[in-house]
Amino acid sequence: MFRKRDDEPDYARIPRVQAPDRNQYGKALNLLGEDDALAGKSLNINGDDRVYEGPDRYRQHGFYFNADNCIACHACESACSEKNDLPPHLAFRSVGYVEGGTWPAYARLNISMACNHCDDPVCLKGCPTRAYTKFAEYGAVLQDPDICFGCGYCTWVCPYNAPQLDPVAGHVQKCNMCVDRLEQGLKPACAAACLGGALDFGVIETTPRNRDQLETRIPGFPDPEITHPNIRFQQTRTLPREMTRPDSTPVRYERDAQGAGPFHTRVRDTGTTRRAGLNGLRSREDPLVVFTLITQAVVGAFLTLFLGPLFGLDVLSPAKHPVAYPALLFALLGLETFALVLSTLHLGKPHRFYRAFNNLRYSPVSREVASLAVFYNFLSAYTLIGAFPGLFAWLPDDWVRGAALATGWGAAITGPAALYFMSRIYRIAARPFWDHWQVLTAFYGNMLALGPLLAGLPLAVALHLQGQSWATFLSTLALPVIAGLGLEAIGLLAHARDMRRRGGEGAAAHHQQVTTFGWIYRARNVTLALAIAFVAVLAIVSPDGPSGLALWAFAALLIVAAAVTGRALFYVLVIPTTMPGAFFWKNPGFQEHARTTGLADMPQTGLVADTH
Amino acid sequence: MLFGRKKKNPVRIADKGVVDWKYTTCGYCSTGCSIEVGLDRKGKAVSSRGVGGADVNRGKLCLKGIFEHELFDSPGRGDTPLLRDRYYEPFRETTWDGALDRVAEGIKGIQSEHGRDAFAIVSTGQIMTEEFYTLGKLARGVIGTNNYDGNTTLCMASAVSGYKRSFGSDGPPGCYDDFEHADCLLAIGSNLPEQHPIIFWRMREARERRGFPLIVVDPRVTMLAQMADIHLPVNPGTDVVLLNALAHVILDEGLEDRAYIEAHTADFEAFAELVGQYDPVCASRICGIDEDTIRHVARVYAGAGAAMTIWTMGINQSTHGSDGVVGINNLNLITGNIGKPGGTSLSITGQSNAMGTREWSSCSGLPGYRSLEKTADREEIASFWGIDPDFFPERRGLFQTDIFPAIETGQIRGLWIIATNPMTSMPNTPRIRKTLEKLDFLVVQDAYRDVETNEYSHVYLPAAVWAEKEGTFTNTERRVNLVRNVVEPKGEAKPDLWIFNEVARRFEQGRAITFPETAEGVFGEMRDLSRGRMLDYSGMTYEKIESQRGIQWPCPEDSETGSPRLYSDGRFQHPDGKAQLIPLPFVDNNERPDDDFPFWLNSGRVVEHFHTRTRTGKIGNLNKFSPTPYMEMNPDSSRSLGIEHGRYARLVSRRGDAVVLVQLTQRVPPDMVFIPFHFHECVNRLTLGLLDPHSRQPAFKQCAVKIEPVAAEDDAALRNHAARAY
């Protein structure tokens, strides 16, 4: 347990002050009733089971940041890293800045930010493993690295960049509010270390000595409505109307009138001449590109196989292909297994994969994984029953038929449901570029476009080899393919329009899409349009013979190329509503530069390989 | 729990397992923070924290102090002595006896062939005062070279020189407590939040309590400038003109303290006549500050009950550095602001023990603020050490910045460098490389084997760093504080004191003189030599220093504690007891921007680094904030040159070139760029470093460059990377 200094100065102690009953979001500051069963318990910090009963132990605490005073001396970050024994590539607290004006009427606003121990902790809700807990003690949101399996989803949903995914250790860690210091009546290490008179700490909604404001916003800080963060600000110095960030993120902040109103996030035209190459599409989320596309194709292919006969496509009935049909099902199962293994290896700690189901109540990740698991099991059962009828010969025929029907329908329902939950994963307020219904149209669009081709083309080849006609069959399957591509296209059009209209980080990401990634973006759009036209022509012309097959294969190639490029863009482009960085630290542009030029190979650069 | 798990898991928070805290004093800058190093069960240093009851830092530390325990095990430390015959040969490991014998032979060989002064010694501001005193005894009393100086010539020489010219002695007269009493604070060329964060904190706390006006003179909009009530973005190198103009207004409007001037200063008439020529209109044309502002600042400063001025390298590192300090002293003398609470001229010192070397190293004369030029001082020290007074030269030899040109032209053949890195820190480093390769014999004594200057050495002596040894530091406010030995030196590294004593033993005269083995023994000699003087240590002991968390000299033998201020009685150290008012004519001799080289090049430091990064460049949690060199440039000037934010640019001066990453910001004026000085093969490849005539300190902050975009980004990145061993 933490032991305080014998000569601990006053500034390090949390003062006792009057606080209101409710915070600015209407929530009670008292987190427990007087005789609540949770009261009077030890936090068991590092095995110390003593109970430290401070006067405000069950009230929500939070940081206070006086933006007028921060000098970016890094004392808070360093005190934090020293206390928590963090390697250079991690930081629970970071200082970035925004700046504006014209020399010498220049102003720089430094912002020191860690976890805000929010009223509505999106990290906690998003975490599939339930590694997070919001404690009644001080309202601290604590994360347990021993539970975490390193999916990094909390780092996606947090608007403040508080959870830190450690690529070396393979798990997330974050600010623990220094609850060990709080139990001793001391402010967290960062607040006690502050040299500028900027960072402070106490019961939320209380103003430190010599401070006036209790603001919930300052320029550069994300919309507090996302999580109701427990941080309050003072910012009284007049700022220029426009503030920019020193990092490579193409956003700036602008208010409508000088000296009045909130700052809005706007696109910053970096005027860069740099154009991303295809390598720019690579990211640590590459496994997710493969995982999502395969899963969507597999669900679509299964739907094609299972529902086809219902729509009069007798060609697709299992009886017609005693070998090809089960082989195809096994292939789908194999593909999906591969996709699932890939997504599991994407975890920092793959051996903890089973924890993915732990938070069905809140986490879209848990729900996706659970529904996908159910789909996978139905698909397996359906495949087994269809492929090895002999295995089930001892059962009454009706039962076997019933089981096949039940598992088939089970997979047909849970598959699309899993894709719906998959799309919910990306509906993150802190990632505006993703937070759009286009995610759903893209996922279902890919299901409709890729699935029928994945099921239909091998069968067409099989038919061809048996000397049977397959042209009409593929022309029929072209309908869902065109529908899927159309759905995706409509989503993309609406997405582009809405991103521009909404402004902020979404617009900035879209701006990157049409500038830095402009040629790739356009190539994808053209490919998509071409694919729609090409498939339509094929459907009408219904070519036959080997050349017909080649034409269909080419159409599939176009569709896959558009899908992979589009999905890669989706992951690469997103700009979170995180805090501004500095010129080096937390600057994605510099980090990329350091990694490509080898500077990052020196450990003291504070960067490690961005693997996952 | 409100959300999350139903069962409460135990909370785990990093515990470094500290079992013992050891008292020491920070080894970076001269703020002089008391710091405790935490040792775990195995005796490994694992944590640092400020000492709550220490008056200087009151429990706080800046980021460098917070990670100071990581110094001991940082990469690049030397752990064994190294030898080679030519600098371009590989080193071979040797024993201490082998290395020290070679050092003594080398010195004797050069001295017997080329004369005593052909061997030079350049030391530092980083080692303990006891070590400085011992090195001084060795250099002046045993080796007997007059070309012996410290790297303080690059940082505080102008302050020393200015104090001596105005007050008759070195020694900052003020203290941090003056912030609590000042009614006006003028900061010239000092960026406390970046350079001295703890002093900034003390100042800011005082200002929050009492709200005195802060006036900042700096061409950049530093954080301090941004916090200021009045910011004067002065033209580079013209501070003296501004100071003369302020004095002009004060005298012109009768705002001066007549009684103080008459009682405690000399030569007022000549001074008044000179400043009479610097009316605010003429001055504004030179220094770039409009006449109304000059008048306003002069009235505010003179009208304050107590006003103080602080400065750092913005004043010191210029061709008029010493004059700038004198100008500040003039301003405070005519307003009666010396030696009183809140009224002072306080140089904010750079290195942890720059003050210790000024006081005791004998670089500029003899120990304890004694001078070679005074017969009585020579005789006193000679008899104390037990040598012939005629062994001492009668006037001081070359400064560091003159030692290098003397090597270049062959008057000096051998050099011993102690804990400093001229390959990075001197101006015009292409010339320094040429100079160092000419040496017949170079000894580098440093805690780091990878210190860049070691590239040219013949002998490398691995020294203990910071709290691997014991001794005292003196800080900016004359506070002597104790560095307790916390851990053993790495490998075979040895304390500098041991090295000096061992070298002394290898000379006949060294064996005849007493060289105390322990730091505390040396401290005893210093106490004896300071008794009854202004620089009085006689009332201090190690125990007393530790229990009081540092003591400010003068601390006479029978006094409980030290003295916060000097000259409170208005008696100065000139023979007449008065302070000199010195007229300061201004001649602009800087290399100014022109059509070929259109930008001012300014340099300075950043909070996460110290000096040439031999220490901070290896601690990831510091270095990550600026791992590679960059330049601040105004976006209004970059546009037409095609220079982009976050990409490389090449700077060219009349000396050399450098590549840096570009940070576009309105913090710097359109005709100036700023580059931190910490990085090897960077800003000092460009600088001219004209010397101040009094202090011989180089003007690092004023020269002219041109800037061009870099077409081949990858080549620039490669070149930059190749210059970064750390």
Q: Reduce the secondary structure of B681-698 to three states and give it as a string.
A: CCHHHCCCCCECCCCCCE
Q: Do B630 and A604 touch (CB under 8 A)?
A: no
Candidates A38, A103, A174, A180, partner chain B, best to mutate (most B CBs within 10 A) = A103
Give the tens place of pLDDT for each residue, B162-177: 999 999 999 999 999 9
Name the minimum distance, in Å, from the CA of B584 to any CA of chain A: 29
Name the minimum distance, in Å, from the CA of A376 to any CA of chain B: 28
Give the tens place of pLDDT for each residue, B192-238: 999 999 999 999 999 999 999 999 999 999 999 999 999 999 999 99
DSSP character at residue B507: S
Mean pLDDT value across residues A178-203: 97
**What percentage of chain B reaches a pLDDT higher than 90?**
96
**Using an 8 Å Cβ cutoff, are A91 and A80 in contact?**
yes
Pair of tokens at residue B405: 């040109």
A272 — pLDDT class (breaks 50, 70, 90): low
Q: Do B62 and A604 touch (CB under 8 A)?
A: no
Pair of tokens at residue A185: 């009546």
**What percentage of chain A reaches a pLDDT higher than 70?**
99
Give the tens place of pLDDT for each residue, B122-159: 999 999 999 999 999 999 999 999 999 999 999 999 99
Q: How far apart are CA A26 and CA A31, in angstroms?
A: 13
Q: Do B627 and A136 touch (CB under 8 A)?
A: no
Q: How far apart are CA B128 and CA B125, in angstroms?
A: 8
Q: How far apart are CA A322 and CA A330, in angstroms?
A: 13
Output the pLDDT for position A612: 47
Residues of B within 8 A of A73 (CB-CB) are: 62-63, 193-194, 197, 200, 607
Which residue in B10, B47, B718 is closest to A47 by CB distance? B10
pLDDT at A608 over 90: no
Cβ-based neighbours of A198, under 8 Å, separated by 6 or more:
A65, A66, A67, A68, A69, A70, A71, A110, A112
Give the tens place of pLDDT for each residue, B20-40: 999 999 999 999 999 999 999
Q: Do A195 and B197 touch (CB under 8 A)?
A: yes
Q: How far apart are CA A147 and CA A163, in angstroms?
A: 14
Which residue in A72, A136, A178 is closest to B1 by CB distance? A136
ipTM above 0.85, yes or no: yes
Which residue in B52, B67, B617 is closest to A7 by CB distance? B52
pLDDT at A305 over 90: yes
Pair of tokens at residue A88: 């250079």
Helices (H), A397-437: 397-425
Give the tens place of pLDDT for each residue, B457-502: 999 999 999 999 999 999 999 999 999 999 999 999 999 999 999 9
Phi, psi of B638 (to 5 degrees): -80, -30
Output the pLDDT for position B447: 97
Mean pLDDT value across residues A96-121: 96
**Using an 8 Å Cβ cutoff, are A167 and A161 in contact?**
no
Strands (DSSP E) found in B548-638: 551-552, 579-580, 599-604, 630-633
Closest CA to B105 of B401, B374, B503: B503
Cα nearest neighbour of A594 on chain B: B717
Query: How many H helices and E strands in chain A?
Result: 15, 12
**Using an 8 Å Cβ cutoff, are A349 and A150 in contact?**
yes
Give the tens place of pLDDT for each residue, B331-383: 999 999 999 999 999 999 999 999 999 999 999 999 999 999 999 999 999 99
Instruction: Output the CA–CA distances (angstroms, integers) from residue A162 to A65, A114, A591, in the order listed.
Output: 16, 5, 18
Which of the pair, B602 or B9, is modelled with greater confidence? B602
pLDDT at A282 over 60: yes
Output the pLDDT for position B158: 97
Q: How far apart are CA A612 and CA A153, in angstroms?
A: 12
pLDDT at A271 over 70: no
pLDDT at B82 over 80: yes
Candidates B621, B623, B644, B661, partner chain A, best to mutate (most A CBs within 10 A) = B621
A101: which strand partners? Answer: A106
Asked if the peptide bond before residue A104 counts as cis, ω within 30 degrees of 0, the response is yes
A220 — pLDDT class (breaks 50, 70, 90): confident
Name the minimum distance, in Å, from the CA of B282 to any CA of chain A: 22
Residues of A within 8 A of B670 (CB-CB) are: 103
Q: CA A490, A491, A495, A498: dihedral to nearest 10 degrees?
A: 70
Q: How far apart are CA B684 and CA B700, in angstroms?
A: 8
Task: Flag the least confident range among A2-11, A97-106, B610-619.
Answer: A2-11
